[in-house]
Amino acid sequence: MQVKDIMSSEVKTCKSGESIKDIATIMCFNKVSGLPVVDDNGNVIGIISEKDVLFSMFPDMHDVMASGAKADFEEMEKDYTSVLTKTVDDLMTTVVASVSPEMPILRAASMMWVRKIRRIPVTENNKIVGIISMGDVHKAVFQDSLLVKD
């Protein structure tokens, strides 16, 4: 089975200058954990995930350890509003792994596993054509196994 057989071609994307508040709204209301960042020509230039947003709230651990202070997680949670004023440029990951539509789905899953990511853009000539998640791969393999006759 190939990526093109299971990918979602309706992909929510964002632009680099958009606010984190807008992106968080899209993620929360659409129940997606990340969005590819595209330029005006539709080229993938990054990816922004819930993990990027939440990790930006954490202090630099080297600073915490050097000062001997303890992290105040309740205080960090209150600081979420300051994260919402940032832009996608501030938090996005710029080195983006992607897969092609013709790639076998388990090869795509192995790329996600190695990179510790849950979803990966599907591109052709660096333009977004779809997205797949670990859940998509699992569902496809599970459904395919139900069709196997003993």
pLDDT, tens digit only, all 150 positions of the chain: 999 999 999 999 999 999 999 999 999 999 888 999 999 998 999 999 988 888 777 656 565 556 566 666 666 666 667 777 889 999 999 999 999 999 999 999 999 999 999 899 999 999 999 999 999 999 999 988 887 665
Mapped onto helix, strand or coil, the DSSP state of residue 12 is coil
CA dist 119 → 55, 57, 149 (Å): 18, 22, 31
Mapped onto helix, strand or coil, the DSSP state of residue 35 is strand
Mapped onto helix, strand or coil, the DSSP state of residue 18 is coil
User: Quick one: tokens of 148?
Assistant: 């196997």
Domains and CATH numbers, the chain: 3-147 (3.10.580.10)
pTM over 0.85? The answer is no
